[in-house]
Structure 1
Amino acid sequence: MKQPVSTPDAPAAIGPYSQAVRFGNLVFTSGQIPLRPDGTLIEGNVEEQAHQVFANLKAVLAAADCTLSDVVKATVFVADLGQFAELNAVYAQYFSEPYPARSTVEVARLPRDVLVEIELVAVVP
């Protein structure tokens, strides 16, 4: 049975989607962009934006009784793969071994013209 997951500690969904959905012991987050919980945008570089994305993801996972250590898959969308090294350095601050599986994809455009969006799949312990 699908259960929506939501928290005021991350930006509210602005469309017909949930911040995350729990299905059994799996949690699927929606993609998070660098919005503060109040909806204002972090307009800095990819590192600054990625830190806010991870703050949002941590809040959503916490609402589902998970942490980043429970993540098994990450999908990273970037506006410019030329910034991969900078993004990867931030990403490495949030995960430890065994690292989640990951896909990183350069896209033509992201919502609000941000530089990074990340979605996760986690297992509830």
Structure 2
Amino acid sequence: MNTQDLLPGGGHYSAGRRVGNLIFTAGQVPRDADRNILGENITDQTKATFKNLEAVLAQFDAELKDIIKVTVHLENLSDVPGFNEVFAQFFPKNKPVRTVVGSRLNGVLVEVDVIATSAEKE
């Protein structure tokens, strides 16, 4: 299963894809379906990004608790403390493995892609 129309991006790709019991997401950013940026600071943008990830994962009957690997791109590495504050709210107990890198993000402060696990739909 691919999700080609969910949270449309600017390119030719799917928002998510299942391979066996693994779900891979494309990088999600704090934008709505009309491509408007949601939030002006790292905490608000991180919350919006994880809401978008929740929507992608829901298409595969998965949730944030099913995430096993997170890759985070930050426009400013000085935003790591603000990102961590929100990240801890979404993952208070089951902490996924994580990588954080500095990246050019074209107008947003954060982009996140994940690998999650879930049983396949029948």
State the TM-score, normalized to the length of structure 1: 0.88
Partner of 1:5 in structure 2?
3
SS at match of 1:77: strand
SS at match of 1:55: helix
TM-fit CA distance, 1:116:
0.4
Q: Aligned partners of 2:51, 2:77: CA distance in 1, in Å?
A: 22
Partner of 2:108 in structure 1?
114
Percent of aligned pairs sharing the same letter: 37
Partner of 2:46 in structure 1?
50
Structure 2 unmatched runs, 5+:
none
* Alignment counterpart, residue 55 of structure 2, candidates 37, 53, 59: 59
Partner of 1:21 in structure 2?
17
1:35 aligns with 2:31: yes
Q: Aligned partners of 1:68, 1:27: CA distance in 2, in Å?
A: 11
Structure 1 unmatched runs, 5+:
none
Q: Aligned partners of 1:62, 1:49: CA distance in 2, in Å?
A: 20
Partner of 2:97 in structure 1?
101
Measured on the aligned residues, the alpha-carbon RMSD in Å equals: 1.4
Q: Aligned partners of 2:47, 2:33: CA distance in 1, in Å?
A: 13
* Alignment counterpart, residue 73 of structure 2, candidates 71, 74, 77: 77
Letter of the 1:120 counterpart: V
Partner of 1:123 in structure 2?
117
TM-fit CA distance, 1:39:
2.1
Structure 1 stretches of at least 4 aligned residues deviating more than 2 Å after TM superposition: 5-8
Letter of the 1:5 counterpart: T
